[in-house]
Structure formats: C-alpha cells, structure tokens
Amino acid sequence: MAGKIRLVLARPDKTVADENVFGVVLPAYNDNLTIIAGRAPGIVELKPGVVQLLEEEDRPGKKYFISGGVADVAGDVCTVSAEEAFAAAEITLAEADRRLRETSGNFASFYRVVCEYLTAFPEK
C-alpha cells in the first residue's frame, strides 16, 4: 500500500482543509499535477480551478475550488495557499452564477471557472 500525504489548503483567513489522502491533483498552469507520497519537493504556481483529492489510487474524493495560488510540496506535505478556496460541495451553480454577476476583477474570472465546472460536471 502506498503512503499517504497531508494536504493543507489555506486561505488568508482560515484553513479550509487539513487531510491525509493518497494524492492530490492540482490545477497547475502547464497541466494538472498529481502529488503523491515520495514526490520531490517543489513550489508550483496554481491557476483557478479544482483541487481533487484522491482517497486511493483510483478513487477520487473531495473537490475544492481555488482562485489560484501556490502549492509548496515538502516531504509528504502539500500546502496550498489561495486567496479564495472552498469545498465544491458548498456551492451550487445558482450561487456561483450570482457571485459571478456581483464580482469583478480576478474573482470574476474565478467564479467563471466555478460556473463552467459546475455546468460541465453537475453533481448527481
């Protein structure tokens, strides 16, 4: 059995997630990046998108929306810092659309990504 990694997902005002999981898929600028135990250390710039937790090698878990940010991987800890972050289960398409209409600047592009994702992948 492969080892676990610790994901710490934080924004300036609070820690959004602190979990031990098999892996984490991050929305890096060049492509999605999967972090698993034993990965080389590094710092990665993230674009607005979805952080996907992997409960096991082939079983996706929770999802979080982030407004972009940075991931720091050291040892078996992946720390993601983002200005805005929340669990995908905490927002509906209607709420994301409302926030998109009421927001401007960088957060408007973030909520556009959230709306596009929720439209393409509606929860069942």
pLDDT at position 65 is 98
Whole-number Å distance between alpha carbons of 73 and 6: 10
- On whether both 96 and 41 belong to a single domain, the answer is no
pLDDT at position 72 is 97
71: Cα within 13 Å, side-chain hemisphere:
31
Domain around 55: 5-87
Residue 8 or residue 106, greater confidence:
8
pLDDT at position 2 is 65
- On whether both 60 and 16 belong to a single domain, the answer is yes
Rounded to 5 degrees, what angle do the CA atoms 19, 24, 30 make? 145
Domain count, the chain: 2
pTM across the whole model? 0.92
Whole-number Å distance between alpha carbons of 21 and 91: 23
pLDDT one-digit tens code per residue, 44-93: 999 999 999 999 777 899 999 999 999 999 989 999 999 999 999 999 99
Indicate which CATH number applies to the domain containing 26. Answer: 2.60.15.10
- On whether both 60 and 111 belong to a single domain, the answer is no
- On whether both 48 and 67 belong to a single domain, the answer is yes
